[in-house]
């Protein structure tokens, strides 16, 4: 049930216990993929995961601006501070809990949001608001070549929103891409910004990315999310832990 497309009596009638809150980003994804890549992916995975688990699961509208200052050199990129993001996600999740939802999965599409989401989820779970866990789709599927706007994300967008991929700019994306994320010395990434190591903003090679792989990635992520939903619904919330 996509919250944005139903009415309050629909929600009252369904009386849902489980909700998915997608979190994305509006940030550069190379010259070829849309700024909304992470949000599009998070929303698609949440919708498909809800369908795979139980159609009545609430899918909240996505939070489209996240922690993405590392892409600030590329026009169009937006971001908020970590404090603002944490507070916004926490309060948005708490409003779902207010209506009786007691299990929430934060379905995330952006690497920069991961640490903050883990913290927010822990807080909501421990204080009894709702048992909340973060789920970052590309960490739940087989995607060793993840990169940034590389083969994994470009495949996903080619499947979910193919019109938004600028096919005539793939060459430019590849020419300015780096092989890996950052500049590492002694286990430390010396680069704070993507512009320090990638001319086009891309990490990896998007040229071989196809919609077929995107469909397989979406299916795998949806199935992993459905499994996670089963697990947290069956599990006692952390607030019940006694020792």
Residues engaged in binding Zn ion (CB under 5 A): 37-38, 153
**What's the length of the chain?**
243
CA distances for 1 relative to 10, 14, 20, 129, 202, angstroms: 9, 9, 10, 22, 34
Torsion sign over Cα 145, 148, 153, 155? negative
CB of residue 51 to Zn ion, shortest distance in Å: 23
Q: Nearer to Zn ion by C-beta: 38 or 43?
A: 38
CB of residue 110 to Zn ion, shortest distance in Å: 6
CB of residue 206 to Zn ion, shortest distance in Å: 12
CB 2 within 8 A of CB 27: no
CB of residue 183 to Zn ion, shortest distance in Å: 20
CB of residue 222 to Zn ion, shortest distance in Å: 18
Q: Nearer to Zn ion by C-beta: 16 or 206?
A: 206
- Which SS3 state, helix, strand or coil, does residue 62 take? coil
Residue, CB closest to Zn ion: 38
Q: Nearer to Zn ion by C-beta: 103 or 110?
A: 110
CB of residue 217 to Zn ion, shortest distance in Å: 13
What tokens appear for 122 in the block?
Answer: 């822990």
Q: How far apart are alpha carbons 64 and 25 in whole angstroms?
A: 5
Please name the residues in contact with 90: beta carbons below 8 A apart, sequence gap of 6 or more: 120, 123, 124
Q: Nearer to Zn ion by C-beta: 39 or 57?
A: 39
Q: Nearer to Zn ion by C-beta: 40 or 50?
A: 40
Q: How far apart are alpha carbons 68 and 89 in whole angstroms?
A: 15
Q: Nearer to Zn ion by C-beta: 20 or 68?
A: 68
Q: Nearer to Zn ion by C-beta: 29 or 103?
A: 29
CB of residue 141 to Zn ion, shortest distance in Å: 14
* C-alpha closest to that of 28 among 65, 63, 67, 72: 72
């Amino acid at each position: 049930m996509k919250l944005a497309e139903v009415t309050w009596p629909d929600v009252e009638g369904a009386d849902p216990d489980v909700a998915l809150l997608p979190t994305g980003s509006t940030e550069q994804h190379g010259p070829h993929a849309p700024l909304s890549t992470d949000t599009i992916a998070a929303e698609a995975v949440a919708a498909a995961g809800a369908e795979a688990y139980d159609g009545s699961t609430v899918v909240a509208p996505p939070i489209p601006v996240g922690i993405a200052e590392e892409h600030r050199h590329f026009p169009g990129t937006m971001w908020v501070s970590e404090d603002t993001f944490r507070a916004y996600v926490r309060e948005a999740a708490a409003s779902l809990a207010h209506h009786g939802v007691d299990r929430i999965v934060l379905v995330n599409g952006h690497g920069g949001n991961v640490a903050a989401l883990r913290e927010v989820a822990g807080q909501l779970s421990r204080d009894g608001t709702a048992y909340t866990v973060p789920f970052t789709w590309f960490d739940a599927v087989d995607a060793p070549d993840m990169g940034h706007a590389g083969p994994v994300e470009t495949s996903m967008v080619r499947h979910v929103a193919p019109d938004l991929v600028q096919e005539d700019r793939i060459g430019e994306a590849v020419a300015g891409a780096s092989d890996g994320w950052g500049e590492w010395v002694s286990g430390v990434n010396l680069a704070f910004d993507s512009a320090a190591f990638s001319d086009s903003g891309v990490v990896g090679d998007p040229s071989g990315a196809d919609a077929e792989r995107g469909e397989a990635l979406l299916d795998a992520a949806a199935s992993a999310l459905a499994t996670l939903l089963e697990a947290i619904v069956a599990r006692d919330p952390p607030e019940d832990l006694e020792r």
